[in-house]
Copies of this chain bind each other. A is one copy, B any other.
Amino acid sequence: MTAQTDHNPANANAQSTGRTLISVDAMGGDEGPAAVVAGCSLSAKINPDIAFVLHGDAAVLETLVTKTPALAGICEIRHASDIVTMDDKPSQVVRTGKDTSMWSAIESVRTREAAVAVSCGNTGALMALSMIRLRKLEGVNRPAIAVLYPSANPQGFNVMLDVGADIRADADDLMRFALMGISYARNGMDIKRPRVGLLNVGTEEHKGRTELKEAYDLIRAQEAGAGFDFVGFVEGGDISGDVADVIVTDGFTGNVAIKTGEGTANLVGRRLREAFGYSLWSRIASALAYTSLQRLKMKIDPRRVNGGVFLGLNGTVVKSHGSADATGVSAAIKLAAQLSQSQFNDKLAARVAATLPVEDKSE
């Protein structure tokens, strides 16, 4: 806790300039630091309220930042000599990763210099480091990773969690996932009264595993006066549907589901390109439809909702896709900024710590 005090001047500094400081692991992604710096630049151009602390090889980052006018005066570089690779084992990183850019980026959140860290790196290592360094929030047994999934709802996306922080979840964990997801939907997506669904193989109350029936009752018990609606059990088709804004499930099922959905969307896209490439007429049609297809791509482009959020820790960590380009990194930063500016993590902590419905109203 001493370190926290040490860094407070920096925090005060960011606040005095009126900007939200975002901690960025600049070395983690497949595309290298150039893509990360380009993403920061894109974000800075559209959001005048943010500043960055970039973690990584100082020589490399200084060269990149110097060439980027949008980052002038709002970007501090913090040297880290080592990098976590995609093949590194989480347990190994926790033991020997002190000099990595990922460790350093999380450290900025631990010391409260920044409220949110962003990394494109190794998910397992990022989760393990976040758990060990930030520690779990009071009242949280299992942290969760939440993603935004394209949906038929007006906001265009649903919150889904857990998608792979842990492969297990008991009834109590699922109830807390619901509370964390509600906080996220409210603060990350501006949904005033989120509708929550519990993922199952049918919508009838008698269906599914024992822990799901227990979780059903636990979530129902939290509902009164807590500012959300529990719509009960939902099915796989509802993840992209419009009956709920928050979909709650265990990390095994959630991980399989989002990867299945992503794979299926890719297959449809591939078949669509084949169909349009088939004949002269279809190629002309494809040219005419270019704007429409671009519009479609905008709506379902996974890069535009890039960012899994680790929930349930003392501080927020946004995991950007490993293969994210500047657009993807920028989307993750936008999300990080919004969560930071809404004091999301404090509200989430208050909500989860409160075990009685009455206290739950505090958020």
Contacts and interface: CB of A to CB of B under 8 A. Distances in A.
Interface of A: 150-152, 164, 167-168, 199, 201, 208-209, 235-241, 249, 251-253, 255-272, 274-276, 278-279, 281-282, 284-289, 291-293, 295-296, 299-300
| Majority secondary structure, A binding face | helix
Contacts of A253: 252-253, 256
B237 A262 contact: yes
A199 B259 CA distance: 11
Of A251, A262, A289, A295, chain B has the most CB atoms within 10 Å of the CB of: A289
A291 B281 contact: yes
A259 B288 contact: no
Nearest to A199: B256
A237 B275 CA distance: 22
5 contacts: A152-B270, A235-B255, A240-B267, A268-B269, A275-B293
A261 B259 contact: no
A209 B249 CA distance: 16
A201 B255 contact: yes
Nearest to A267: B240
Contacts of A279: 291-292
Contacts of A239: 260, 263-264
B263 A236 contact: yes
Q: Would you list the 6 A-B pairs with minimal beta carbon distance, nearest first?
A: A236-B259, A237-B263, A285-B289, A285-B288, A236-B260, A282-B292
